[in-house]
Structure 1
């Protein structure tokens, strides 16, 4: 082993090795730049802690390659001897390999194919703070394997910024080893004031880079930006402004490995400026970096289970990410970190980024768990959301990967492919020919024609035809990666019997879209969501499309890639899922019942016809749904009946609840009375009284009439409706009609006094009383005095107790 300079992790290695010897498990927390990635596996190998291979997991391919090469260099060997690596599509290992660095997905495949992990002595989860979905799954499976099959299996979780205590607890209170040292101190500098609201990230980052180069004249500079687009725009903003001898090196995941190496390699002369995404946060070695510029943004994928779509969002970096980036400046010498925010703003940063399991599409995870056999008892640091998992399982069932919750042979085949289950299903169904392989590789990669019209055919042409690639200004790096992946995926040379649109529809049956009526190119997707396409594109005029890439907007997603689909092509694929459906429903928009016969595929209506002989019961139920929208039409008579019932219920009578909520819960009581009512106007004119009386039943009506009679009978024999809505039962009638009444009227067994509003001959209230004898004694004389002048032809006797009730006026001239 070549002699190496001491690193901060060295002081923690003895404690770590002792913990692994004692417990076979440990959690190591060490700050960025401590050297854990390259020192720890070699120390474990030298200490002979296990007899099998040491497998170290990295979240990114670049980190896996780079760390393996660095360890091999330390041993004075080429990579592939004692230290090797294996990533998707590439491996450098041999029989002599004792330390193998792999990406996390590789471990999942190894576990699924060999749960006993034969020949593996130790698993190291590096950079666990990134909380990738594969890392969480790999740790959960490893813990179960260790518990059930391999007590001797060493497990080590390493992290730079993660709160490590919960991980140690998950691992059965594994020893927690902390390395406090840092290679070199790093000074942090913040903005003096917040950026203006309209500031452009790239412009401000470029300005901060120029300031940092001026203030820190030594060493390379590493700037963190959220994505390739921001990197390219910042690079453009820096052109013609950099000091002599400065070279810009972009670094992001979709670059070729050769270009990534150029960004990582030391520069012979001048200063290197690396513009990188979060890929540079991990265990990469950038040997000449002494200055970090952090733009303070991170790009993350967010999955919406309701729409089945993911979208990338750019948001503020977290404190943990900022600390990880800051550490890059102190690996080789004392460094400086410039942050594109003020010190005061730092307090508002979230402590950690969300775990991928909280925000990602869980369909691949659901498939892996189904292949494993059961998720019950698996220890996840963050358990998957049950609702999101249910959506993922529903998609797998639709793809034929699951049946009754269990994995099928088709599902096992999908799990063996290095593809999302959607794309694996397409490839398997199409037979693995070149057409399907090319499309699968294309849909799994970044768009090679970013910003071009959303025609999927253009992308296929750019991959298969060099002239078309040049014509459409395709990204050559992306095209080359798609071609290489397509070669790996291709299983036979026979072209597919399916068109490009049909292949896409196999992968995305829920994103088959139909154009809505109207001028704007809006579509309804089979899964029920809406999508919109830019006007003027040829695809916008097609009746059916398959959307293969959308921006994930939850209200109305923008279509970025799609293929036109013929009606016959859809029917050839999904004839068993296309069916005629009888629809009898209330239309909010039209305010009436709509009775149609519709041919449907998911939410798409392929054909729509009038249903002239819809059953009366279906029409009545649709009318009741209309009442749920517009509300029950309470006529005065129906309202009085409900008020009487409410009063009896308050007194303890066991009568049905006639509140709107209760009545609208079950339609059966009203359906016989809705026959022939089809529009909102007809429903609003409905009198509920007879339906309510039938709902109450004969015995209840008898009880109601006894306890709360509906009418008061006047001395003249007229029936006056009693209103029970107020604080007391109430009636209104002409004052003269109550002449001769000497006892105040009461109702019901509790003798509730009526609140009587006495009216003038003109129908105006003149007195409200609940004590009619008292009114005759005390107030009547004043009322009589006032009313005689206004209504001289009506009787106003001095003693109303002895007068006869009347509604007549005196004859003229008397």
Structure 2
């Protein structure tokens, strides 16, 4: 066979024979998926052992096995076989098994030595699924601890092979630069609307390219459906329109993979499922919409959502390579050539953003901590901790962090830990059959056909259709068949009788077991819910379940503030009490009632953030009332307290002492007082529960008592409330600004040569010298300078305005006074008599 990979095969066989491990880089179409396993069959080191090759998708596993079997003139299930979920074709003759990554994890967990396996091949490793990263980590430990003869080969089209080679103890790195056939790339620019743009590109490509089948990549099944509708009636009669997606039946997938009949062409609208390890016979034209759907998990919410993002450069190259696998091809890209340089080189590894609960359960079953294994990208610690917390919540991990018997049973089912827990607990409750059907439904695509607007969120309706409505117009028969097949397999695994009852009214109870953090209670208007985790959730008003008091929710969109509910079933408070007795909590809650401006003390029956019962507490504990009142003060602000002039002045004096001396004076700013309410105000709130009860608080006294006795005395010295001026008057000091101000009539300062100082002499006061009518005349920090300079001008101006008051030429030699000239004369005459 004339494939680019052929020249590398001898070196690859040598590397695996001598080193036991290798990394192979080869671009799409080089032939690595189908040629390498066949080449290893004749290796001496294989003996009678099997070659196990991992594929990221079921369709890729089946297609690779079928192509290899055809190359050696056999049918699948003889020398070449495959094992995927719900389907396998292997026999005693099978020596090459193509398996999905999830099934390999089951194999290595059940048999860590991988008995009878000579080599493990990781194909398309560049996809960096969490399962493939974990599978490689476990295989490396098996090789290091149990099987030094186990061969490991990592294969990829677009990957930094040097990093993988280093992880495999400096494994040989072999690279193929060739491609099976050249592919021309044409950039069409971004369309205004995706589906009409893809449809237009399909029609253009069929006109420009007279032969060959066409493969168009779209991000999801919704876009595929709308593009197919846009193409309806506009394709030539000789062109067949097909779709390809993971949720389709194997028969439908095979139909899309086969070459078109003689004299006909086909157009296949596909998700990323056709991106790697799949050859669509006859395809030589690719249209890439440049988008992909990727899961994103938020550890803070415990929810995943699918996000539509631009493809990476590596993924775009993979898609382009589909056009050149059998003959020269052409690739139309629905973006501008300049945008190509801005694409991410690779998508981030799934392990960095995935729900790590399945990985955490696998690690627990393996008996290892993540830090004990070798990773190309280690799982993030916060996400892993969240996953372990969920497993502990489900009873899969014990208090010591080790896997429990329940957890071990969960690992055998090959389902998400939540769904595995649901099935095992459902069996205990006598609802095993319904639990298996529910788990199969939640693990597969929605069997309800979309008809116009939003789908109903009613999970019970779906279960009823799956049980007894084979030909209902709302039911997708192919999806329903796959769900029923998976449910049957689950029933066999957990040992449920085929004739066990199926009461769909129990769906909510079962669902709550799997998603205790997603029990939703209606709050306020219809459609608004609060989850037991504390988050908000929404249902459209037209949804029949929008008025249901309590729901068990299976699927949300992952929005942090108000997640959109997609699938749910009704639940009752009695169900929650019966299912989670140890989690029900009677909590005395004291909080601030804004409407009443008072403390509200209530006793609540709670499940997480949900309140099932709420009634007043007749005589609430004083400490809780105090805390509620302090909460109210914080909500309203410090201004709600009765601040007297004395209290404000005291705060200002302390602030001056703090600024001036640098000593350990308290911070009495608004923010600091609010932050320390419990310390200085709390002890004075006994017997008070309403805002009006605060009106008579003696704040000046409370604050002064908060100072130690020594600081009270020091404050009176450093920042006195009043200063004695030469007349003997005590004049108040204003500390409200950045420096202390003494506002005093000018005549009262006669004879005083120096400006008064505070803070043990560190800070002069700012003198506001006033007229006899207490109007500003001058502002100075330098009284001596004022007497010598500006006073003369002030005297000149003021003598005419205030002729009855004294304005001596020498203020330092004059007696200070508050009186007029006439009053002074009368006083002098009186003294003379």
TM range (shorter): over 0.9
Provide the C-alpha distance between the structure 2 equivalents of 1:669 and 1:156, rounded to a whole number of angstroms: 69
Report SS of the residue matched to 1:401.
coil
Corresponding residue number in structure 1 for 2:711: 700
Aligned: 1:361 with 2:355: yes
Query: Over aligned residues, Cα RMSD in angstroms?
Result: 2.6
Aligned: 1:125 with 2:147: no
Please say if residues 256 and 268 of structure 2, whose CA atoms lie closer than 8 Å, have aligned partners that are also in contact: yes
**Within 5 Å, which residues of 2 pair with 1:576-587?**
576-586=582-592
How has the CA–CA distance of structure 1 residues 127 and 679 changed in structure 2, closer, same or farther, with 3 Å as cutoff?
farther
Corresponding residue number in structure 1 for 2:506: 499
Report SS of the residue matched to 1:123.
strand
Report SS of the residue matched to 1:470.
coil
The match for 2:547 among 535, 538, 541 is 541
**CA apart distance, 1:522:** 0.3
How has the CA–CA distance of structure 1 residues 763 and 426 changed in structure 2, closer, same or farther, with 3 Å as cutoff?
farther
Please say if residues 768 and 776 of structure 2, whose CA atoms lie closer than 8 Å, have aligned partners that are also in contact: yes
Moved more, 693-702 or 383-392: 693-702
Provide the C-alpha distance between the structure 2 equivalents of 1:25 and 1:319, rounded to a whole number of angstroms: 28
Corresponding residue number in structure 2 for 1:9: 5
Corresponding residue number in structure 1 for 2:76: 79
Superposed CA deviations along residues 752-782 of structure 1, whole A, max 9, x for unmatched, are 3222112234443221112223323322233
**Within 5 Å, which residues of 2 pair with 1:344-493?**
344-375=338-369, 376-404=371-399, 405-431=401-427, 433-449=432-448, 450=450, 451-466=454-469, 470-471=472-473, 473-490=474-491, 491-493=495-497
Corresponding residue number in structure 1 for 2:214: 221
Corresponding residue number in structure 2 for 1:210: 203
**CA apart distance, 1:72:** 1.6
Provide the C-alpha distance between the structure 1 equivalents of 2:145 and 2:748, rounded to a whole number of angstroms: 94
Please say if residues 638 and 687 of structure 1, whose CA atoms lie closer than 8 Å, have aligned partners that are also in contact: no
Aligned: 1:280 with 2:279: no
How has the CA–CA distance of structure 1 residues 512 and 705 changed in structure 2, closer, same or farther, with 3 Å as cutoff?
same
How has the CA–CA distance of structure 1 residues 607 and 273 changed in structure 2, closer, same or farther, with 3 Å as cutoff?
same
Moved more, 587-596 or 730-739: 587-596
Moved more, 582-591 or 84-93: 582-591
**CA apart distance, 1:313:** 1.4
Corresponding residue number in structure 2 for 1:303: 297
**Within 5 Å, which residues of 2 pair with 1:748-787?**
748-787=759-798
**CA apart distance, 1:604:** 0.5
Please say if residues 448 and 474 of structure 1, whose CA atoms lie closer than 8 Å, have aligned partners that are also in contact: yes
Corresponding residue number in structure 1 for 2:249: 256
Superposed CA deviations along residues 358-401 of structure 1, whole A, max 9, x for unmatched, are 22111111111122222222122122121111221121111111
Corresponding residue number in structure 2 for 1:566: 572
Provide the C-alpha distance between the structure 2 equivalents of 1:733 and 1:480, rounded to a whole number of angstroms: 96
Aligned: 1:508 with 2:515: yes
Report SS of the residue matched to 2:578.
helix
Provide the C-alpha distance between the structure 1 equivalents of 2:820 and 2:609, rounded to a whole number of angstroms: 71
| TM-score (normalizing by structure 2) | 0.91
**CA apart distance, 1:479:** 0.8
Moved more, 684-693 or 270-279: 684-693
Please say if residues 298 and 304 of structure 2, whose CA atoms lie closer than 8 Å, have aligned partners that are also in contact: yes
Provide the C-alpha distance between the structure 2 equivalents of 1:470 and 1:88, rounded to a whole number of angstroms: 27
How has the CA–CA distance of structure 1 residues 619 and 802 changed in structure 2, closer, same or farther, with 3 Å as cutoff?
farther
Provide the C-alpha distance between the structure 1 equivalents of 2:708 and 2:610, rounded to a whole number of angstroms: 45
Provide the C-alpha distance between the structure 2 equivalents of 1:49 and 1:586, rounded to a whole number of angstroms: 76
Provide the C-alpha distance between the structure 1 equivalents of 2:512 and 2:35, rounded to a whole number of angstroms: 49
Provide the C-alpha distance between the structure 2 equivalents of 1:343 and 1:58, rounded to a whole number of angstroms: 32
**CA apart distance, 1:580:** 1.4
The match for 2:620 among 604, 614, 630 is 614
Provide the C-alpha distance between the structure 1 equivalents of 2:305 and 2:24, rounded to a whole number of angstroms: 33
Provide the C-alpha distance between the structure 1 equivalents of 2:72 and 2:13, rounded to a whole number of angstroms: 20
Aligned: 1:246 with 2:236: no
Moved more, 71-80 or 19-28: 71-80
Provide the C-alpha distance between the structure 2 equivalents of 1:663 and 1:383, rounded to a whole number of angstroms: 46
Provide the C-alpha distance between the structure 2 equivalents of 1:687 and 1:769, rounded to a whole number of angstroms: 36
How has the CA–CA distance of structure 1 residues 423 and 729 changed in structure 2, closer, same or farther, with 3 Å as cutoff?
same
Please say if residues 714 and 720 of structure 1, whose CA atoms lie closer than 8 Å, have aligned partners that are also in contact: yes
Report SS of the residue matched to 1:49.
helix
Aligned: 1:161 with 2:158: yes
Please say if residues 436 and 496 of structure 1, whose CA atoms lie closer than 8 Å, have aligned partners that are also in contact: no
Provide the C-alpha distance between the structure 2 equivalents of 1:10 and 1:605, rounded to a whole number of angstroms: 68
How has the CA–CA distance of structure 1 residues 783 and 537 changed in structure 2, closer, same or farther, with 3 Å as cutoff?
same
Provide the C-alpha distance between the structure 1 equivalents of 2:365 and 2:502, rounded to a whole number of angstroms: 28
**CA apart distance, 1:590:** 7.5
Please say if residues 186 and 336 of structure 1, whose CA atoms lie closer than 8 Å, have aligned partners that are also in contact: yes
Provide the C-alpha distance between the structure 2 equivalents of 1:162 and 1:173, rounded to a whole number of angstroms: 16
Moved more, 206-215 or 17-26: 17-26
Superposed CA deviations along residues 562-609 of structure 1, whole A, max 9, x for unmatched, are 112122222221222112111223467886544322111100011222
Report SS of the residue matched to 2:54.
strand
Corresponding residue number in structure 1 for 2:830: none
Aligned: 1:26 with 2:22: yes
The match for 1:647 among 652, 659, 662 is 659
Corresponding residue number in structure 2 for 1:555: 561
Please say if residues 648 and 708 of structure 1, whose CA atoms lie closer than 8 Å, have aligned partners that are also in contact: no
Q: How many equivalent residue pairs?
A: 801
Corresponding residue number in structure 1 for 2:755: 744
Moved more, 87-96 or 286-295: 87-96
Provide the C-alpha distance between the structure 2 equivalents of 1:501 and 1:793, rounded to a whole number of angstroms: 95
Structure 2 spans left out of the alignment, 5+ residues: 827-833
Provide the C-alpha distance between the structure 2 equivalents of 1:762 and 1:390, rounded to a whole number of angstroms: 75
Aligned: 1:178 with 2:175: yes
| TM-score (normalizing by structure 1) | 0.93
Provide the C-alpha distance between the structure 2 equivalents of 1:514 and 1:793, rounded to a whole number of angstroms: 82
**CA apart distance, 1:532:** 0.8
Superposed CA deviations along residues 69-115 of structure 1, whole A, max 9, x for unmatched, are 21122222222221111112222222222111111011111121221
